[in-house]
Structure 1
Amino acid sequence: MLALALATARAEEGVVSFTIVGDAIPASLTGASGDPNRGRAIVTDRTRGLCLLCHGGPFPEERFQGNLAPDLAGIGTRRSPAQLRLRLVDGRALNPDTIMPSYYSLTGLTRVGRVWQGRPILSAAEIEDVVAFLATLREPEGRP
């Protein structure tokens, strides 16, 4: 497990500070829960979250879902909201070689598009919306 660490992000850069505990960020980035409906919209939006580029999931209306990363079906059973939050904020804290984008980090990035320089891909509120949505994706009763 990772040692307790304080993110180096600064509020003036548009990113609030957060604390990593083990494999998770326990506290909401906004101090409030997100909206699962807005989170679903981000996850399925191919111009915003781009999640379905790599992940598949329980989105029958969405064609051409990815298979490079874990399927999102049941992710709310397999990971806690705090674990999901760290993976969205900056999965490099768990796996430095991950292909998962760092949606809420400004440090250690390379080849950042001009429009994204100096700002995170998703806002703190959007991260919380996605966490709230992913937490609803539960395995049916009786399945691991």
Structure 2
Amino acid sequence: MTRIAGMLATGLAATLACGMAWAETAPGAVQYDEYGAIAASLTGAPGDPGVGAKVMSSRAEGNCVACHQVSALDADFQGNVGPSLDGAADRWSEAELRGLVADAKHTFEGTVMPSFYKTGPYIRPGDAYTGKAAKGELPPILTATQVEDVVAFLMTLKE
């Protein structure tokens, strides 16, 4: 019985450790380096490049193609406000891309790129077109999983 109890305790500890390793980093707890890169995954799990491509081209989610051109995406009316993301994986590291997607203002102070994984402090439009500011913090535009998915897709974009 003692041996079985020990094996169960070891298995439970391993399960808990794995569960904690896969915990999501809250927007306020993200650690940026001095250049705006985020070394650690926000989820502890690898992103899905296929889902990332959908997030980037979806107007309801990231809508990255509103400002950026990405030849690998089949999306109409791609923008030219931001740089082309073709070859992004050759220009930036995974940590740099994660930082740019989460909050590019840590890298480029005057950028107009939205902060996709931030809850504040900053001013957002009024609460449901009431003309009044929303109360409290609002959720980030993208979830931690979506950020990792976008980064995984961007890492496939090589020259």
TM-score tier after normalising by the smaller chain length: 0.7 to 0.9
Runs of 4+ in 1 over 2 A off after TM superposition: 111-117
User: How many residues in Structure 1 have an aligned counterpart in Structure 2?
Assistant: 127
Decide whether aligned partners of structure 1 residues 70 and 113 sit closer, same or farther in structure 2, where only a CA change above 3 A counts: farther
Alignment-derived partner of residue 27 in structure 2: 15
Conserved? CA contact 1:53–1:65, under 8 Å: yes
Mean CA deviation greater in 87-96 or 65-74: 87-96
Distance in 1 between residues matched to 2:32 and 2:55, nearest whole Å: 24
Residue in structure 1 matching 2:80, options 48, 67, 72: 67
Deviations 1:99-118 (A, max 9, x none): 10000011232124537952
Alignment-derived partner of residue 94 in structure 2: 81
Report the residue type matching 2:27 in the other structure: V
Q: Summarize the alignment of residues 87-106 of structure 1 with structure 2, pairs less than 5 Å apart.
A: 87-106=100-119
Q: 1:47: how far off?
A: 2.1
Alignment-derived partner of residue 153 in structure 2: 133
Which blocks of at least 5 consecutive residues in structure 2 are unaligned? 1-25, 129-133
Q: Summarize the alignment of residues 110-125 of structure 1 with structure 2, pairs less than 5 Å apart.
A: 110-112=123-125, 114=127, 118-125=138-145
Alignment-derived partner of residue 40 in structure 2: 27
Conserved? CA contact 2:32–2:99, under 8 Å: yes
Report the residue type matching 1:54 in the other structure: C
What's the TM-score once normalised by structure 2's chain length?
0.73
Q: 1:59: how far off?
A: 3.8
Identity %: 40
C-alpha RMSD of matched pairs (Å) = 2.1
Distance in 2 between residues matched to 1:88 and 1:50, nearest whole Å: 12
Conserved? CA contact 1:16–1:29, under 8 Å: no
Structure number with higher helix proportion = 2
Larger Rg: 2
